[in-house]
Amino acid sequence: MTLQNSNRSNTLSCAEFQEQLPDLFAAGASNGHISDPDLLEHLRSCTNCTALVRDLQYIADQAKQLLQPTHEPSDSVWKKIQEGLSSEQGYSVLPDKK
Amino acid sequence: MEVQGLQMTEPTTAPGLFKRNPPIAGEAEAIERAKAGDAEAFSKLYALHKRRVYTLCLRMLGNVSEAEDMTQEAFLHLFRKIGSFRGESAFSTWLHRLTVNLVLMHLRKKGLQLVSLEETINPSEEDSPKRDFGSRDTQLAGSVDRVALERAVASLPPGYRMVFVLHDVEGFEHNEIAVMLECSTGNSKSQLHKARLKLRELLRQSEPTPQADLKEAAL
């Protein structure tokens, strides 16, 4: 499928539409929140770009669940912190419990 | 806060940061006690935040040993600098900013300091996401679990992964990322977009195909 005739709307090509996406997403504009009539027109008529915007928004939304941590440092990290503080500032009373 | 040349100021409160990082029970009291030098309180702060700080380091560095070293560094810096925390942002946001700056400084020391990150974080051509002007309409929404996403993020080229983790996971704004990475805001937006495109590619590749499902069912 060529760039020129792929899902081309009357106003914008897919390439032209997709070039705007970094700024659109940065401005918080996902599907349904785009005000530029040319971009909206392309989105209405192009299933490919609609799917792209939907997927990218989905990925951004799903990323938020990664804020919850999944990994735990080994016990040696806390031991080294204790040692580090003891040696440089004389804090020798840091408890063992984590 | 000064972290070996890096200015550590509390960010102006960005919308949603307190919402994404709500106060943890007992945290405020532990912070105040730790400021007064209470070692037990510092131990509590470590227990509350070690997993998130370590996970952040691991995602940024992709290496367990380095991630543990940077976790250690982050908490040592925290102990020294906690007196400058004024509570204008969520404590975890402040701690994460401190951690990100330490990790970036570490990466620059490793060899990225001669050239700006903006130039070095661009991946090779083969790692770049393919442009998508085709008409395949496979819906990704609803099909991606946390494990698959975590795996895909881990396999991103470092520059893409950095911006994606900072923006989409940690919630930093593009202007903040631009300062941290010493690049332009436009570059941050562009890197993030490429990161998401690459993730889409990787996640689609990892989706089970109907043929694979049939084979699996036949076994």
Task: Identify whether B128 is part of a domain.
Answer: no
| Residue-level pLDDT at B13 | 46
Task: Identify whether B61 is part of a domain.
Answer: yes
Q: Are residues B105 and B53 in the same domain?
A: yes
**H helices of A20-74, where?**
21-26, 37-45, 47-63
Judge: B164–A66 Cβ closer than 8 Å, yes or no. no
Amino acid at B69: D
Query: What does the DSSP assignment read for B149-194?
Result: HHHHHHTS-HHHHHHHIIIIIT---HHHHHHHHTS-HHHHHHHHHH
Task: Identify whether B177 is part of a domain.
Answer: yes
| Residue-level pLDDT at B103 | 94
Considering only residues B126 and B14, tell me which one the structure prediction assigns the higher pLDDT: B126
Task: Identify whether A37 is part of a domain.
Answer: yes
Contacts of B31 (CB under 8 A, 6+ apart): B41, B45, B82, B85, B87, B91
Query: How many structural domains compose chain B?
Result: 2
Asked whether the predicted pLDDT for residue B201 surpasses 50, the reply is yes
Q: Are residues B51 and B98 in the same domain?
A: yes
Task: Identify whether A40 is part of a domain.
Answer: yes
Asked if the C-beta of B154 comes within 8 angstroms of chain A's C-beta atoms, the answer is no
Asked if the C-beta of B169 comes within 8 angstroms of chain A's C-beta atoms, the answer is yes
- Crossing angle, helix B174-181 and helix B91-107, to 10 degrees? 40
Task: Identify whether B47 is part of a domain.
Answer: yes
Q: Give the mean pLDDT per block of 10 residues along chain A (98 residues).
A: 45 89 82 76 90 92 87 95 81 55
Task: Identify whether A98 is part of a domain.
Answer: no
| Residue-level pLDDT at B125 | 55
Considering only residues B10 and A72, tell me which one the structure prediction assigns the higher pLDDT: A72
Interval B85-114: pLDDT, tens: 988 888 998 999 999 999 999 988 887 543
Quote the domain boundaries for residue B176: 144-207
Give residue B120's pLDDT band: very low, low, confident or very high (50, 70, 90): very low
Query: How many structural domains compose chain A?
Result: 1
Asked whether the predicted pLDDT for residue B141 surpasses 90, the reply is no
Instruction: Tell me if the pTM is above 0.90.
Output: no
Amino acid at A58: Y
Judge: B149–A56 Cβ closer than 8 Å, yes or no. no
Give residue B219's pLDDT band: very low, low, confident or very high (50, 70, 90): very low
Q: Is the ipTM of this complex over 0.90?
A: no
Asked if the C-beta of B163 comes within 8 angstroms of chain A's C-beta atoms, the answer is no
Q: Are residues B84 and B33 in the same domain?
A: yes
Considering only residues B146 and B19, tell me which one the structure prediction assigns the higher pLDDT: B146
Nearest chain B residue to A23 by CA distance is B189
CA distances from A60 to A4, B16, B30 (A): 29, 15, 33
DSSP 8-state code for residue A75: H
Q: For A64, list phi and psi in degrees, rounded to 5.
A: -65, -30
Residue B109 burial by Cβ neighbours in a 10 Å radius (0-12, 13-18, 19+): exposed
| Residue-level pLDDT at B196 | 95
Q: Which of residues 16-75 of A touch B (CB under 8 A)?
A: 18, 21-23, 25-26, 47-48, 51-52, 54-56, 58-60, 62-67, 69-74
Quote the domain boundaries for residue A66: 1-92
Partners of B3 in beta bridges: B6
CATH number of the domain encompassing residue B180: 1.10.10.10
Question: What are the chain B neighbours of A85 within 8 Å (beta carbons)?
Answer: 76, 79
Mean pLDDT of B169-179: 91
Interval B44-82: pLDDT, tens: 999 999 999 999 999 998 889 999 999 999 999 999 999
CA distances from B165 to A49, A60, B16, B188, B193 (A): 25, 10, 17, 12, 12
| Residue-level pLDDT at A55 | 92
CATH number of the domain encompassing residue B57: 1.10.1740.10
Task: Identify whether B139 is part of a domain.
Answer: no
Q: For B209, list phi and psi in degrees, rounded to 5.
A: -85, 155
Asked if the C-beta of B51 comes within 8 angstroms of chain A's C-beta atoms, the answer is yes
Q: Are residues B110 and B162 in the same domain?
A: no
CA distances from B183 to A5, A45, B33, B95, B174 (A): 36, 36, 38, 22, 10
